[in-house]
Structure 1
Amino acid sequence: MTGADAIELKQAGADLKLHLADEAATNRLAEDFAAAARPGDRILLSGDLGSGKTSFARAFIRSLAGDPALEVPSPTFPLRIDYPFARFAVVHADLYRLGGAEEAEEIGLFDLSDEMVLLAEWPELGDLNWPEAAYLTFALASEGRDVVIAAGGDWNDRLTRSFAIRRFLDRSGRAGATRHPILGDASGRSYERISNGAEAILMNAPARPAGHAVWQGKSYDAVAHRARDLSAFLKVGSLLSERGIRVPQVFAGDVGDGLLLVEDFGSEPIITADRRPIMERYEAAADLLLHLHMGEVSADVAAPGGGRTPDLPPYDTDALLIETALFTEHFVGREAGPDMSPQTRDDFLTVWRALFDSLAGRERVIVLRDYHSPNIIWREEAEGTDRVGVIDFQDALLGDPAYDLASLAQDLRVDIDEAEEDALVARYIRGRRAANPSFDEVTFREAYAILGAQRATKVLGAFARLAHEGKPAYRSHIPRIRARLRRSLERPVLSELRRCYDPYL
């Protein structure tokens, strides 16, 4: 048996017993584990020589590498080999030749950071034992091999989800497909590259609960109008596609279970390896915004999207304000400056509310909300704005056109200098004025300053929260964001705000 029939699952008390009919089934199980793994995991592999431990470890590492041909040598003689993958680092250890249990400590297996995953063969020889670990015990069978999984911590929940994803792939025509987890975003969603001749992207996004009330009797998601399930991705994707925006085609989906299989745009970025903008690609991304915005504000119903108001929530004052408040809750007092007193916080948000209210009554377009480098894929083979593939848009709202331009031209994860930012803004304004000579540049630039500062403020709060929740890599962006915010606060329209930020920037 191969593919979907190669694994047979049985419950063995609190443990899970699986029969792996062949090498393909072992690889499949390893990929399912790799998709479920997260930083800090300990995966311990026991069993006799030749029972399948090394085969499992090799397939696990290749899945994380996204390379089925990756050379994965056995660490029998070096005892451990480290793999610094982007998603997390993996330590592959083989303790068969360990001189004594104390040597496991000498090679650092008990001192690994919480950001690293340990994959250890023969763990019993090093007295490796963690209650939250996943223990796999392999044994040869008359055909194939058996494995018993004793899953500590929340491994059972994670494996249940990963096996459900595998079943979804099987019934979606992807039986036997290879799964490669890829680096996700700041949300709770995760992604995998699925290969079985043709590649696709698996989106794993279970519906989120409503959450508790935090703002005038409503949850954060309700006030900020954040999508809680994948139906929004399908809806907004359809709206954008109708307007000529290149979004991934959907191949299969189970919205109720939070799973979509969509077109793979590849991984060609719009930035260099050292986080500098590739200006040709940023210019094309700005042109895409022009295309989208001018269609939305056109009175010509024959224009793309013209004459039809999209059925999307508004990016209103309360939504902007609750995002801004992330700064006061997670950045202030933790990353910089003193805590804000309740009165100081109220004064801070009052100034912001007046600025957001000043944006009311202006033109409204589809705001993609996170229109920046992680969510834009470059498609070199395409032409025009089709070269810009947009992959994250489920939280889209109706709002000011300056917001997405600020998100792009002030990309908070990229080292864009002031001249490059100014060139992108000028390019957009030229396009708007060419289509409509009465376009109000002064008003637009004021909105751009306000919304750019708002975005930097909320992202400082969001990244500080993520850093304190065990994702310290987000802290590396904070100096850049602070500098960007200081620059925005020099704009005259934000003069009243400057004093509010003095202790924190």
Structure 2
Amino acid sequence: MSDLPEGLSEFVASAGWDDARIEPIPGDASFRRYFRLRRASGESAMLMHAPPPHEDPQPFLLVAQWLASHGMRAPQIHAQNPREGWVLTEDFGEHRMRDWLDDYPGAERAAYEAAVDTLVRLHERPAGPFSPYDMATYVREAMLLPEWFCQAHGLDIDEVGYAEAWEEALAPLVERQDQPVTVLRDYHAENIMLLGDPRDGGAQGLIDFQDALVGHRAYDLVSLLQDARRDVSPDLEAAMLERYMAAAGAGEHFQADYARLGAQRNAKIVGIFTRLAERDGKPRYLAMIPRVWAAMERDLAHPALGPVARWFDRNIPGELRARHGGSV
């Protein structure tokens, strides 16, 4: 294979896997590349290349070690060379939750129940040694919407007012983050692996967690139930939200905070998907914006998002919002 990254053969050999067949795996929206190593015996492993300076595998290794040490199902690390961007891990197989549910839609509720229960277990652990998901981070992420979406549509907006609206809406939530949890930040059906035979209701493996922070327990629940890449019905979302709240003993403000983080995350994703299309030449992400925007509009309808909702009413034309999935 002529398109293999430089240094791959040497790293694989040093890890004792030079007898394996190398199978490239389709990439994501980053500079990371993945390969499956498969031996004639059927044994397999996953190879990640996260090359500096664009990527750094150290956060992945740190979070994987922390998750495993606290009883969560992260892939075991077989070999590593962070300086060159190489990590060889346990292979969780090919049963990604999203793909499995495409083939077996009747298993949807059970799969989401297990995913919610995984979050409950994660949130029972002490918060990891990661950076805080603070107000500055929330607002910086939300600013991706005016920076990319609004600019792409030629909108003349009140950018300062946008940041101030988010600070006002998120202030009560940030004050309640006095008992934070580990936030994986990209916890959804494409990043949950169904281990063993999914029909037996086996464990769920975690991947793509290298950007973990310490923040609010509602964030990953929003990521799961307001999935940018897969439709989750309002009835299923409501049932899983109720399941989490009952199991975790969530307080009276939880639903409001869930809406706050839903709006914040979805605003960020609209900006990121627009950036992927505009800057990186990946227009396929534009097709996902209507799903994300519709979820954002539902979140904005919550009274807790009043300042942000009023900003949207003043700055983004109703016709544009409707065209991108809103109901205005």
Tell me which interval the TM-score lies in, with the shorter structure as reference length. 0.7 to 0.9
Counterpart amino acid of residue 139 in structure 2: L
Within the candidate set 273, 285, 294, 1:463 is matched to 273
3-state SS of paired residue (1:278): helix
Q: How many residues align?
A: 308
Q: CA deviation at 1:319?
A: 1.0
1:317 pairs with 2:131 = no
3-state SS of paired residue (2:15): helix
Counterpart amino acid of residue 233 in structure 2: D
Counterpart amino acid of residue 193 in structure 2: I
Confirm or deny: 8 A CA contact 2:169 2:306 kept in the other structure: no
Q: CA deviation at 1:177?
A: 2.1
Confirm or deny: 8 A CA contact 1:284 1:384 kept in the other structure: no
Residue of structure 1 in register with 2:205 after alignment? 389
Q: CA deviation at 1:353?
A: 1.5
Q: CA deviation at 1:386?
A: 6.3
Q: CA deviation at 1:400?
A: 0.2
Residue of structure 2 in register with 1:349 after alignment? 163
C-alpha distance in 2 between matches for 1:425 and 1:475: 28
Give CA deviations for 1:68-111 in whole Å, capped at 9, x if unaligned.
Answer: xxxxxxxxxxxxxxxxxxxxxxxxxxxxxxxxxxxxxxxxxxxx
Within the candidate set 279, 290, 293, 1:479 is matched to 290
Q: CA deviation at 1:410?
A: 0.9
Residue of structure 2 in register with 1:185 after alignment? 28
Within the candidate set 254, 270, 275, 2:81 is matched to 254
Q: 1:361 to 1:499 in 2, by over 3 A?
A: closer
Confirm or deny: 8 A CA contact 1:32 1:163 kept in the other structure: no
Q: Where in structure 2 are the equivalents of 1:117-132 lying within 5 Å?
A: none
Residue of structure 1 in register with 2:326 after alignment? none
Q: Where in structure 2 are the equivalents of 1:181-330 lying within 5 Å?
A: 181-196=24-39, 197=41, 198-208=43-53, 229-271=56-98, 272-273=101-102, 278-296=108-126, 309-330=127-148
C-alpha distance in 1 between matches for 2:90 and 2:156: 46
C-alpha distance in 2 between matches for 1:498 and 1:190: 39
Percentage of matched positions with identical amino acids? 36
TM-score for the superposition, normalised by structure 2: 0.88
Unaligned runs of 5+ in 1: 1-30, 36-161, 210-227, 297-308, 434-438
C-alpha distance in 2 between matches for 1:400 and 1:275: 32
Residue of structure 2 in register with 1:404 after alignment? 220
C-alpha distance in 2 between matches for 1:281 and 1:430: 18
1:359 pairs with 2:173 = yes
Q: 1:416 to 1:274 in 2, by over 3 A?
A: farther
TM-score for the superposition, normalised by structure 1: 0.58
Q: 1:275 to 1:398 in 2, by over 3 A?
A: farther
Give CA deviations for 1:353-381 in whole Å, capped at 9, x if unaligned.
Answer: 12232222322000001001121111144
Q: Which has the higher contact order (CA 8 A, sep 6+)?
A: 2
Q: CA deviation at 1:238?
A: 1.3
C-alpha distance in 1 between matches for 2:310 and 2:180: 31
Counterpart amino acid of residue 403 in structure 1: Y
Q: CA deviation at 1:275?
A: 11
C-alpha distance in 2 between matches for 1:234 and 1:447: 30
Q: CA deviation at 1:240?
A: 0.9
Within the candidate set 239, 250, 253, 1:443 is matched to 253
C-alpha distance in 2 between matches for 1:351 and 1:488: 15
C-alpha distance in 2 between matches for 1:185 and 1:454: 22
C-alpha distance in 2 between matches for 1:429 and 1:328: 33
C-alpha distance in 1 between matches for 2:211 and 2:199: 27
Confirm or deny: 8 A CA contact 2:169 2:307 kept in the other structure: no
Q: CA deviation at 1:178?
A: 1.5
Q: Which has the higher strand share?
A: 1
Give CA deviations for 1:416-467 in whole Å, capped at 9, x if unaligned.
Answer: 111111011000011023xxxxx41x21111110001111100000011111
3-state SS of paired residue (1:360): helix
3-state SS of paired residue (2:232): coil
Counterpart amino acid of residue 36 in structure 2: R
Confirm or deny: 8 A CA contact 2:188 2:224 kept in the other structure: yes
Q: CA deviation at 1:384?
A: 10
Confirm or deny: 8 A CA contact 2:226 2:292 kept in the other structure: no
Q: CA deviation at 1:281?
A: 0.9
C-alpha distance in 2 between matches for 1:471 and 1:418: 29
1:331 pairs with 2:149 = yes
C-alpha distance in 1 between matches for 2:232 and 2:151: 28
Counterpart amino acid of residue 266 in structure 1: G
C-alpha distance in 2 between matches for 1:274 and 1:488: 30
Q: Which has the higher helix share?
A: 2
Counterpart amino acid of residue 444 in structure 1: F
Q: CA deviation at 1:382?
A: 8.1
Counterpart amino acid of residue 473 in structure 1: R
C-alpha distance in 1 between matches for 2:32 and 2:241: 31
Q: Where in structure 2 are the equivalents of 1:129-140 lying within 5 Å?
A: none
Confirm or deny: 8 A CA contact 1:246 1:386 kept in the other structure: no
Within the candidate set 210, 230, 241, 1:425 is matched to 241
C-alpha distance in 1 between matches for 2:226 and 2:104: 13
Residue of structure 2 in register with 1:172 after alignment? 15
C-alpha distance in 1 between matches for 2:79 and 2:197: 25
C-alpha distance in 2 between matches for 1:333 and 1:392: 30
